[in-house]
Chain A
């Protein structure tokens, strides 16, 4: 154990309520000890659930581990607590950039630059997004107070054009992991617009599932109308091996999200509605 980790751990042990966990978690993250860093971050979040920096720290660790979906959630939470948190804005920009949604990435950076106009990493990220540089965008970095650390973006240089050509489906579901395997966007006739669906064994069942789902939207709408309940917002099903949620991004499209049973049905609904929102924006841009 290095001296700094030892010293910070001792300090935290002496006062578990202390905010020193932020520094300790960051040091461990920089040393790429992600499991230990995550434990420290979660320990801190248990004691300080409304501390934006704690959510930001955990998000950066998740992003380092390529768990982008949860990282998105954590940065989203950071911004709910502290809407001016430039670390979270840069983190979300990084995720949007990573999946090729350059407009969203730029919009988040724009907001960050209004809040911190002198932050050089924002200007650098802008240059990358606008294609003025061949280097990776700055990954999620800690707010002032810690040493700068290489974020996930530094692991492999990414160029916007390359991302766009390699991940066309994930662009629809910017910021959401699993676009290739657990998210499916269909038109009203059941034709696939984006995403894909595989069984746990890896068999691609995209087209079969799309065919089964064709017409679900109309049936759900008819049922809601018959019951005098207005429009339908979502249709979920709980299975022995996982859950599905069907949402309606627009009246002419349908979105299916599938997750294993570790994701509770209520959370799946939240994730699917968020994906539907992203899909809605994407569909509007296609017109």
Chain B
């Protein structure tokens, strides 16, 4: 798994990538969808995934606030062969995990929330 970003960012992502079935994790700037730090398996296009994840998160966030449900704490895109899980880290960052289909989603969610708390 290749890593990028400072040591503090790396530590925040470590807790997520340790979970079995997680293929990678990223810290993404919420406003512009740019990668702040990443630990991804080879072949995952971090930049593009980060941009789309931020855009999807933004749309869902607006939907939820408009529907009176308050800000979102967790997003989950389920696909045939995997999933993308996202939690906000403060106002400016997102913690994103890319997983296999058989992953324990509940556990990844917990670790993402921990990573979000630990994110600098």
Contact = CB atoms under 8 A, between A and B. Distances in A.
Physical interaction between A and B: yes
Interface of A: 197, 199-201, 203, 205, 208-209, 212-213, 215-216, 219-220, 222-224, 226-244, 246, 256, 258, 265, 269
A227 B48 CA distance: 9
B31 interface: no
B79 A238 contact: no
A197 B63 CA distance: 11
Q: Is the interface of A mostly helix, strand, loop or mixed?
A: mixed
B66 A229 contact: no
A226 B98 CA distance: 11
Interface of B: 43-45, 48-49, 52-53, 55-56, 59-60, 62-64, 66-84, 98
B76 A236 contact: yes
Contacts of A219: 52, 55-56, 59
Contact of A239 (B49, B53, B72, B77): B72
A97 B102 CA distance: 39
Given A227-B82, A236-B75, A216 B69 contact: no
A201, A219, A232, A239 interface centre (most CB from chain B within 10 Å): A239
B78 A239 contact: no
Contacts of B43: 228
A212 B62 CA distance: 7
Contact of B59 (A197, A215, A243): A215
Given A215-B59, A216-B59, A222-B52, A209 B81 contact: no
A205, A209, A226 interface centre (most CB from chain B within 10 Å): A226
Contacts of B84: 223, 227
A126 to B, nearest CB: 40
Contacts of A228: 43, 81-82
A238 B72 contact: yes
Nearest to B44: A227
B64 A239 contact: yes
A219 B73 CA distance: 20
A222 B79 CA distance: 11
Given A212-B59, A219-B59, A220-B56, A229 B70 contact: no
B50 to A, nearest CB: 10
A235 B60 contact: yes
Contact of A241 (B55, B70, B78, B82): B70
A220 to B, nearest CB: 6
Given A227-B84, A230-B79, A216 B71 contact: no
A244 B44 contact: no
B78 A230 contact: no
Contacts of A227: 44, 49, 79, 82, 84, 98
A208 B75 CA distance: 20
B2 to A, nearest CB: 16
Contacts of B44: 227
Contact of A258 (B69, B75, B78): B69
Pairs A-B, 9 closest by C-beta atoms: A230-B80, A199-B68, A240-B70, A229-B79, A239-B69, A229-B82, A238-B74, A242-B69, A224-B79
Contacts of B73: 238-240
A240 B73 CA distance: 7
A235 B82 contact: no
